[in-house]
Structure 1
Amino acid sequence: MPDHWTNSLFIQNGPFAGNTLENISPVSGGCIHQAWRIELSDGQKIFAKTNHKDLLNVLEVEAKGLKALKKWTNNSLITVPEPLLVEELSGRAVLLLPWLELSGDDQTALGQGLALMHQKSAKHNPEKFGWEEDGYIGKGIQPGGWLANWGEYFVNMRLIPQLKIASQWGLRIEDYQAILIALPSFLNEHQPSPSIVHGDLWGGNAAILQDGRGVLIDPAAWWADREVDIAMTKLFGGFSKKFYAGYEKVWPLPTSAQKRVEIYNLYHLINHANLFGGSYKEQCLRTLKTLKGSIIN
């Protein structure tokens, strides 16, 4: 059970002053945080994430990412939960979000809404790729900063930082210098515009509401080639034909997109290898070898 952080919600200046706590129960599925379902006396239901106070920045970055996605989403297709609170309470880092009832399985609106988010943000983009501060991809650091050149950004700010960490378990960066040199121009061939992207779009970070609308949670948001989101949906599965059909109906991908899927997913594979080890290491090495042969030769 949670400790005394819940008491801070109901003090005179607390966010739910005048309410009382009716029930709180743990929710499964969290990776590095504890998760809770909170029921208040006025009938509100709240989702809470908590961790040690030293990890408050992780939850702050998540809250900023949610707000960034929400700015560009059409609420008739996709819901992004609005952060209710993110702060330290009684020595705990706490993020509160509205509780959402999930039960649907038709991913059409999810695909359409994601495409619309990508498309709408691309029309009003900052004319550069990146993010204003360091973020997180899972438990790993996702460096911030900006560049106008997409290929250079992806290689220098996404792949190389992960490759440097991977050198600690034996991956030799020097073996892949040729591909790192060739990738920027290869990735720039289709001249992508910056779009706001979820950034960590595996099946566990998307869902369907009872009314059929999609839900996006736990982002690692930044301005990128929109294809990075679609590529990641193919890495671990969980997305249906209706999702992809919905996306294509709103903003079709270029026919060359398939050539970049493995490159974009390499970022996530190396991050997983650095965090979890195991078979992810072998997957990284196989992917690098494949890319070395297909792009250099």
Structure 2
Amino acid sequence: MNIGLRDDLVAADGPLVGLKITDVSPVGGGCIHQAWQLRLSDGRQLFAKTGSADAFDLFDVEAEALTALGQYVDSDVLVVPQPLSLVQLPHGAVLLLPWLPLGGGDQQSLGRGLALLHQASREQNPQRFGWHRDGYIGAGPQPGGWRMRWGDAFADLRLRPQLKLCNRLGMSLAEEEAFLEGVADRLNRREVIPTLVHGDLWGGNASSLIDGRGSVYDPASWWADAEVDLAMTHLFGGFREDFYCSYDDILPPIPGAQERLEIYNLYHLLNHANLFGGGYLNQSRACLRRLARQMSS
């Protein structure tokens, strides 16, 4: 953390006015912005995410998603850190969050807590799918908007924008449109209850705490099928059998979930292809070919 930003935090108009930052330690794991552990003169430890001035909008979307998830969480089982401060300072943007003492251990509370969050949000769902503003999936765009049917939401709001960004997949516009119509039709056949999802649930955005509770953070939330969260946990690994068993104890799997997993993870593969290229392009092409064959059969 540069000296200017550190001074901004404790300045008279800063979020930590009246305090002294006694120690700053870098925190690994992020690939977009910098993250820090702050130790304060009052004994508290905070997590700080920092970036240039144009990072403020991304932090604002993240803070809003954390607040939304926090409305439905059972804090005895799962912790969703709630924003303490979001500020635009002279030397950059800062999002301050409580420090989470990560501790590894089993993932039973993580799975149970996620299921309870999904379950609770369904009881107050908006009766439609989407999100009220444009956001981000990692550093990529995640458009806002609403659809009444789940298949239309996933095809129009998630897959279509990613396919438009990626012109290196070897599909014609007609083939893309036929594919999207097939995805929408398949998903529209199901009765799905809108659920507030984390939206970017890979292993780096979830953990167990020292006290045994689970925690999720750095979300890209929207109202969707709960299965999109579970699907992504399989994409990059990091989730153990006790996570899935404890989730399923609350919300048992629905027939066909395994077949839908690849459809849902195509979104993240396309986003990674657009952000990083390389092997993700090949994975996206292969996934599209497999799914296109399924749609036409």
TM-score, normalised by the number of residues in structure 1: 0.96
Determine if the alignment matches structure 1 residue 194 to structure 2 residue 198.
Answer: no
Q: What letter is aligned with 1:233?
A: T
Q: What letter is aligned with 2:135?
A: G
Q: What letter is aligned with 1:83?
A: P
Determine if the alignment matches structure 1 residue 85 to structure 2 residue 85.
Answer: yes
Q: Which residue of 2 aligns with 1:126?
A: 126
* 1:168 Cα deviation from its structure 2 partner: 5.4
Q: Which residue of 2 aligns with 1:244?
A: 244
Separation (CA, whole Å) in 2 of partners of 1:169 and 1:190: 29
Work out whether residues 118 and 197 of structure 1, in 8 Å CA contact, stay in contact via their aligned partners in 2: yes
Q: Which residue of 1 aligns with 2:51?
A: 51
Separation (CA, whole Å) in 2 of partners of 1:252 and 1:286: 30
Separation (CA, whole Å) in 1 of partners of 2:112 and 2:165: 36
Per-residue deviation, residues 188-216 of structure 1 (Å, max 9, x unmatched): 22211100000000000000100111110
Q: Which residue of 2 aligns with 1:95?
A: 95
Work out whether residues 163 and 173 of structure 1, in 8 Å CA contact, stay in contact via their aligned partners in 2: no
Separation (CA, whole Å) in 2 of partners of 1:294 and 1:251: 27
* 1:174 Cα deviation from its structure 2 partner: 2.9
Q: Which residue of 2 aligns with 1:21?
A: 21
- SS of the residue corresponding to residue 94 of structure 1 reads strand
- SS of the residue corresponding to residue 88 of structure 1 reads strand
Q: Which residue of 1 aligns with 2:184?
A: 184
- SS of the residue corresponding to residue 19 of structure 1 reads coil
Work out whether residues 115 and 247 of structure 2, in 8 Å CA contact, stay in contact via their aligned partners in 1: yes
Per-residue deviation, residues 150-192 of structure 1 (Å, max 9, x unmatched): 1011101100100011115655443333221121121122211
Per-residue deviation, residues 196-245 of structure 1 (Å, max 9, x unmatched): 00000000000010011111010000000100000000111110000000
Superposition CA RMSD, Å: 1.3
Of 213-222 and 14-23, the range deviating more from structure 2: 14-23
Per-residue deviation, residues 104-126 of structure 1 (Å, max 9, x unmatched): 32111111111111111011100
- CA change 1:293–1:208 in 2 (3 A) is same
Work out whether residues 8 and 91 of structure 2, in 8 Å CA contact, stay in contact via their aligned partners in 1: no
Q: Which runs of 5+ in 1 are unaligned?
A: none
Q: What letter is aligned with 1:64?
A: E
User: Which residues of 2 match residues 1-297 of structure 1 at below 5 A?
Assistant: 1-167=1-167, 171-297=171-297
- CA change 1:249–1:97 in 2 (3 A) is same
Per-residue deviation, residues 38-74 of structure 1 (Å, max 9, x unmatched): 1001101011111110121011111111111111110
Separation (CA, whole Å) in 2 of partners of 1:156 and 1:130: 10
Separation (CA, whole Å) in 1 of partners of 2:10 and 2:291: 55
- SS of the residue corresponding to residue 246 of structure 1 reads helix
* 1:25 Cα deviation from its structure 2 partner: 1.7
Separation (CA, whole Å) in 1 of partners of 2:27 and 2:126: 38
Separation (CA, whole Å) in 2 of partners of 1:236 and 1:206: 12
Work out whether residues 196 and 221 of structure 1, in 8 Å CA contact, stay in contact via their aligned partners in 2: yes
Of 259-268 and 167-176, the range deviating more from structure 2: 167-176
Work out whether residues 47 and 96 of structure 1, in 8 Å CA contact, stay in contact via their aligned partners in 2: yes
Q: Which runs of 5+ in 2 are unaligned?
A: none
Q: What letter is aligned with 2:201?
A: L
- SS of the residue corresponding to residue 237 of structure 1 reads coil
Separation (CA, whole Å) in 1 of partners of 2:96 and 2:255: 41
Q: What letter is aligned with 1:165?
A: L
Q: What percentage of residue pairs aligned between the two structures are identical?
A: 50
- SS of the residue corresponding to residue 159 of structure 1 reads helix
Separation (CA, whole Å) in 2 of partners of 1:88 and 1:171: 42
